[in-house]
Amino acid sequence: MRSDFLWGGAVAAHQVEGAWNVGGKGPNVSDMMTAGNVNTKRIITETLLPDAYYPNHEAIDFYHHYKEDIALFKEMGFKCFRTSISWARIFPHGDEEVPNEEGLKFYDDLFDELLANNIQPVITLSHFEMPYGIVKDYGGWRSRQFITFFTRFAKVCFERYHKKVKYWMTFNEINNQANYKSEGSVFTNSGIIFQEGEDKEEVVYQASHYELVASAMAVKMAHEIDPSLQVGCMMAMTPIYPYSCNPDDMLKAVGANHKRFWYLDVQVRGYYPGYMKTFFKRKNFHLDITEDDIVALREGCVDYIGFSYYMSFVTKGDGDVYLDYDESRDLCKNPYLQETKWGWPIDPKGLRYTLNYLYDRYQLPMFIVENGFGANDILENHTVHDQNRIDYLSAHIQEMKKACDIDGVDLLGYTVWGCIDCVSFSTGEMKKRYGMIYVDKNNDGSGSLKRYKKDSFYWYQKVIKTNGEEI
């Protein structure tokens, strides 16, 4: 492990900040989502319903507690802290020409507090966040105008914070929407609600294209503003294994990985891979991809690969010559792995596999910006004995170390997801906790918001102190 390895934790603005309508902030897409659970999906409401519960509105009120929380991160020894900038704090409706000073000031204060505690901020520009105002008025990323709105937002952030923030990412888990049948993913990635009768797949490829162009333009702009800035992509890395060594399974996995990770090829290499071009042609998609877009993609390749890793998937061959992959249809269970209570397969070795796969393919520095274990913790005598979380994290860190020390990959850092308990993205629950710091807040919104250190707090403190030697 490198001596300047960036150990830390990660959250996203909408999952922690709360203060959803404070300081001039407008509603974000996440503010329109009710709470669900492992069996019930979150509902996206077009207006705020008086009787519904919206868990992101208060979240853990990090907006008012950040100083106390940063003190705890410092105590754990964090070298970095990943969060996002709430786009609707800066541009409340989304299409304003002038940013909201109060929103900008909040992030100035937050970054100053981190830096004063020797913690480097690592920032995502859009982590499932975009102002709901422009989503409603323009239909989300189905509109090319979103490129203008996003790059304006990115420019304001780079200009304002470039002396405080070195590592940036453009869009969080941009490839979640590869599963275009998941309405939640498409809404949070792209602010899109499908219309009756439209080709969902084509709509999502068009939106993705605009995001990729906007991302590339942001990378270029960041380098012009300050050449020392490092801008990465952020991929949900869920490697898809073949079910067996049957060549049909092997080939199906190739097709499945193409469909999940083509975004990476574009963001790292600056052009569409051949397999996507032939796919678009076969499907007869009429995508709006201009010559200028192609130039923009080429000029805005990312500096590093940021990714989240929680689990791996498995698929089986089905004789389809095109190797088409539909996540809701083509996944099967891995008989070798256990799952969390939320059905997420636990596969630490998959992290070593992923690091090797990405490094072999792209030869770029990487940053594991999310990894963690969601569990229903029990607070007893002001603490939580979360050995299950320690086991999960320790197994993953060990595999990460092997990838660095034995396989020689270039890894910048590792941030534990939800280092402080926060609202679950997929279910909107508080009960699906990832933190090393417990927050007294319940699924129904009750709770004192008090913070408590879990056993994993002290465990991670030691991991960081020994630079991963004592795990």
Break the chain down into helix, strand, coil percent, rounded to 5. 40, 15, 40
CB of 171 to ligand BG6, least distance (A): 11
Of 100 and 456, the one with the shorter C-beta distance to ligand BG6 is 456
Residue nearest to ligand BG6 (CB): 426
User: Among 265, 303, 330, 370, which residue sits at the site for ligand BG6 (rule: CB under 6 A)?
Assistant: 370
Question: Is residue 417 near ligand BG6 by the rule CB under 6 A?
Answer: yes
For residue 218, which of 312, 352, 124 has the smallest C-alpha distance? Answer: 124
Structure tokens at 69: 């929380």
DSSP 312: -
Residue 303 or 370: the one with the smaller Cβ distance to ligand BG6 is 370
To the nearest whole angstrom, how small is the minimum distance from the Cβ of residue 342 to ligand BG6? 7
Among 17, 31, 173, 211, binds ligand BG6 (CB under 6 A): 173
Nearer to ligand BG6, 60 or 297 (CB): 60
> In this complex, which beta carbon is closest to ligand BG6, that of residue 311 or of residue 323?
311
Sign, Cα dihedral of 275, 281, 282, 285: positive
Per the CB < 8 A criterion, the answer to whether 316 and 243 are in contact is yes
Could you give the residue numbers annotated as active site?
A: 370
Closer to ligand BG6 by Cβ: residue 100 or 172: 172
Nearer to ligand BG6, 82 or 259 (CB): 82
- Binding residue for ligand BG6 (CB under 6 A) from 172, 177, 179, 230? 172
d(CA 315, CA 331): 5
CB of 36 to ligand BG6, least distance (A): 10
Residues between 75 and 134 with contacts to ligand BG6, criterion CB under 6 A: none
Distance in Å, CB of 310 to ligand BG6, minimum: 6
**SS3 assignment, position 313:** strand
Interface segment toward ligand BG6; rule CB under 6 A; list 69-77, 197-205, 298-306, 417-425: 417-425
Question: How far apart, in whole angstroms, are the C-alpha atoms of residue 203 and residue 185?
Answer: 13
User: Smallest distance from the beta carbon of 196 to ligand BG6, in angstroms?
Assistant: 29
Contact pattern for ligand BG6 over residues 224 through 253, marking x by CB under 6 A: ------------x-----------------
Judged by beta carbon, residue 12 or residue 110, the one nearer ligand BG6 is 12
Question: Which one, of 219, 224, 241, 126, lies nearest residue 172 by Cα?
Answer: 126
341 in Cβ contact with 376 (< 8 Å): yes
**265 lies in the site for ligand BG6, by CB under 6 A:** no
Q: Which of 175, 257, 354, 426 binds ligand BG6 (CB under 6 A)?
A: 426
d(CA 162, CA 160): 6
Edge-to-edge strands of the sheet including 240-242? 240-242, 313-315, 331-332
Over the range 257-271, which residues count as b (16 or more CB within 10 Å of their CB) and which as e? bbbbbbbbbbbbebe
DSSP 407: T
The four Cα atoms 439, 441, 443, 446 give a dihedral, to 10 degrees, of 180
Site string for ligand BG6, 294-313 (x = CB under 6 A): --------------x-----
AA letter at 283: K
Considering only residues 12 through 71, tell me which ones interact with ligand BG6, judged by CB under 6 A: 12, 15
Residues interacting with ligand BG6, by CB under 6 A? 12, 15, 172-173, 236, 308, 370, 374, 417, 424-427, 432
